[in-house]
Amino acid sequence: MTPIGENAASYFVDRHVACAYRDNPAFIESGTGRQICYAELARQTGRMADLYARHGIRREERAAMIVLDCIEFPIVFWGSLKAGVIPIPLNTLLASNVYAAILNDCRARALFVSAELLPVVAPVLDACPHLEKVFVIGGERAGIHLGFHEEIARSQSRDPVSASADECAFWLYSSGSTGQPKGVRHVHGSLKYTADTYGAQVLGIAQDDVVFSAAKLFFAFGLGNGLTFPLSVGATAVLLAGRPTPESVCAVLRQHKPTIFCGVPTLYAAMVAHLESETTSGMPALRRCISAGEALPEQIGTHWRNLTGCDILDGVGSTEMLHIFLSNRPGDVIYGTSGIAVPGYEVRLVDEAGAEVDRGGLGELLVKGGSSASDYWNLRDKSRATFEGEWTRTGDKYQKTQNGRFVYCGRTDDMFKVSGIWVSPFEIEQALLTHPNVLEAAVVAACDAEGLEKPKAFVVLKPGAAGDHLAEELKALVKERIGKWKYPRWVEIVPGLPKTATGKIQRFKLRDARRG
Ligand code: 3UK
């Protein structure tokens, strides 16, 4: 029989209304100082069902979110779950045509968009025939669209719909090796699973914690850190709407004194450089720092610990598993490793034939645990190749050391991470090829001075084409076409590219030039 009454929003939001801390802030916006307490969060999220009903958006239909980290994010996300509508938080840094592709893929009927981001998506809205209602958050006037605040103010609070733990709750998009985003579908029960495992048993989050995740809420990493873990215990999350720079993040750390801080390696690297140039010392309130998205180089962890007195727990998670399943633990940190399986998860390494790999050997990492996604939307072959029954393939190569720790050894495909977010060489190459002077292009990951990977492009010019200013033009072109973080940091013009007999680019040969 299907269990009822397991709507995740009842657990994460409404449950707290009966608690003594009901008037404590659930979310605080850094910068504006706006706050929302638990009781108010329960009321506001309850209004989303009415808002949807008045606009004809029904249960199980999709609502896309292009929303900055602000109080409305949890209202729309949890409110949608209460209504049974499927929220789909999207990366706020994407290019217009990528938004169009995703909105059409998921056939969202509603879109919630921060006023600041409306200009990016507005030009493609006409190309999204399934989209009927656009709710603009913030800004002066919504213009031809609906104003979120007016609409929510006009709505009555309703009780959450009864949902099964196995029922689809929300989707996240993850980019694939062709650059085509995949809709990853998650169920209600997965949210609590990650909170009960990593949140409770690795982070050890408690009601008096203040969490600041510089990793944004649209990213599964940020969603756990900022939206589910604090709400699993009645803690407080600090939200930063702007770009996380060393200056803005340090300002939040000083002002709000979070006890838990979450970031990606690129940010930790930039902050180490920033803090080293400062005379003020320490972050005494910090008790846990976590990193994920890509491997944390050892020297960044050691420097950070020396500067702040707090270790960084490096852990591996994925959009498919929702959060971290392999991690270092408090009191058991070895930099340069991803630690051991998080309680509630099992991991194993297999070779190409599917056989178990012995200690010391290299294999693909497979993971088993109760938070795996149900499938990729409308991609049956990819779903079958990734979700093998209880086991999920990660596409990561790992080695298990003699003392049982896991060491990251790269990907089984050509994908890599920049600032913790996927980049596919193929999609950058496709963007580079749209430049009139470019004949061929190949992109690989190269390491910057911090030991972190960034795209490096090798381009072959068309006969007679000039290479002047090409590097700057290509960087601008990639930023505009596929996403701001994906541009090649280095561009090298070469006479030809290494290829196989069948004409496939041999990217591994180009990778040998490690530094840009
Ligand atoms: C890589 C890492 C080495 C790895 C994520 C925490 O990154 C997250 O999700 P994505 O779907 O990417 C998953 C892939 O990223 N990776 C992540 N963390 C590490 N590689 N060391 C790490 N610590 O290739 C993995 O397969 O974007 C991270 C929580 C939730 C997440 N979704």
Q: SS3 sequence, 101-165?
A: HHHHHHCCCEEEEEHHHHHHHHHHHHHCCCCCEEEEECCCCCCCCEEHHHHHHCCCCCCCCCCCC
> Which of 175, 316, 418 for mutating ligand 1's site (highest number of atoms within 8 Å of CB)?
316
Amino acid at 376: Y
Q: What is the DSSP string of 192-261?
A: HHHIIIIIIIII---TT-EEEESS-TTSHHHIIIIIIHHHHHT-EEEE--S---HHHHHHHHHHH--SEE
What are the structural domains, with CATH classification, of the chain? Answer: 8-163 (3.40.50.980), 190-200+239-411 (3.40.50.12780), 416-510 (3.30.300.30)
Residue from 90, 218, 318 to probe ligand 1 pocket by mutation (most atoms less than 8 Å from CB): 318
Do residues 453 and 417 touch, judged by C-beta distance below 8 A? yes
Distance 326 CA to ligand 1 centre (A): 10
The residues, any chain, with a CB within 8 Å of residue 468's CB and separated by 6 or more, are none
Closest residue CA from atom 8 of ligand 1: 318
pLDDT higher than 60, residue 1: no
SS3 state at 441: strand
For residue 276, pLDDT over 90 is answered with: no
Query: Is 287 in contact with 260 (CB distance < 8 Å)?
Result: yes
Task: Compute the distance from residue 167 Cα to the ligand 1 centre, in Å.
Answer: 25
Residue 126 and residue 145: Cα distance in Å, rounded?
A: 13
Ligand 1 nearest-atom number relative to CA 265 = 23
Give residue 500's identity as a one-letter amino acid code: T
Non-local (6+) Cβ contacts of 182 within 8 A are 173, 174, 175, 176, 376, 377, 379, 382
Determine which residue's CA is closest to atom 20 belonging to ligand 1: 294
Residues in the chain: 516
- Atom of ligand 1 at shortest range from CA of 291: 23
Q: Which of 57-61, 158-162, 420-424 has the lowest mean pLDDT?
A: 420-424
Which residues surround ligand 1 with Cβ inside 6 Å?
174, 220-221, 292-295, 314-319, 323-324, 338, 394-396, 408, 417, 420, 422
pLDDT tens digits, residue range 119-147?
999 999 999 999 999 999 998 877 899 99
pLDDT of 278 reads 78
pLDDT tens string 349-378: 999 999 999 888 889 999 999 999 999 999
Q: Taken in order 127, 133, 137, 141, is the CA torsion positive or negative? A: positive
Residue 280: its pLDDT value, please? 64
177 CA from centroid of ligand 1 (Å): 15
Weakest-pLDDT range from 1-15, 226-240, 248-262: 1-15
- pLDDT value at position 145? 96
Where residue 23 falls (left for φ over 0; alpha for ψ -120 to 50; beta otherwise) is alpha
With H, G, I as helix, E, B as strand and everything else as coil, classify residue 167.
coil
Q: Does residue 202 register a pLDDT over 70?
A: yes
pLDDT of the residue at 448: 92
Adjacent-strand bridge partners of 423:
416
- 138 Cα–ligand 1 center, Å: 32
46-76: pLDDT as tens digits:
999 999 999 999 999 999 999 999 999 999 9
Q: pTM for the whole thing?
A: 0.91
Q: Is the pLDDT of residue 2 over 50?
A: no
Q: How far is ligand 1, taken at its centre, from the CA of residue 323, in Å?
A: 8
Which residue owns the Cα nearest ligand 1 atom 7? 293
DSSP letters for 65-113:
EE--SSTHHHHHHHHHHHHT-EEEE--TT--HHHHHHHHHHHT-SEEEE
